[in-house]
Amino acid sequence: MALYGIGAYYKESVYQDFIDNDCVCIGWKIKTAPSLFSILTTIEVTDLVYIKSYRHGLCIKAIGIVIDSNLIDFKELGKGVKVKWLWQGKEKIPKSYLDKYNVYSNTIYKEYNEKIKAKIISLLSSA
């Protein structure tokens, strides 16, 4: 089981759209952002995803488990995968948790930071 962080801001927030449609998506076209789709296609059923923002530091907004990893066209949201949401809230992550190499402003990334992983598990266990 892997953990992925994903942003939910296009020209405006699509956070609620992700929640309402039980999905996470890439707002870019495949031709425009092939690297992002390469990451998206590595996501498997039972992987965890978290919706994040990184405007004034990392903030976790929702955590879910992938229930269908086939790429689905969610119309205006773009292509993505189906998710069952397990936790929603707003959890600011302390700067001391973040690595020097920062990927948190990226659209999507696989999470390797052990402190972030532990925080995700903690949030899920409190749900």
Tens of pLDDT, residue by residue over 96-110, are 888 877 888 899 999
pLDDT at 57: 85
Average pLDDT over residues 85-104: 90
**pTM for this model (two decimals):** 0.94
How many angstroms separate the CA atoms of 8 and 105, rounded?
11
CATH class of 3-125: alpha beta
Token pair of 90 as six digits: 């707003």
pLDDT at 2: 97
Residue range 29-72, pLDDT digits in tens: 999 999 999 999 999 999 999 999 998 789 999 999 999 999 99
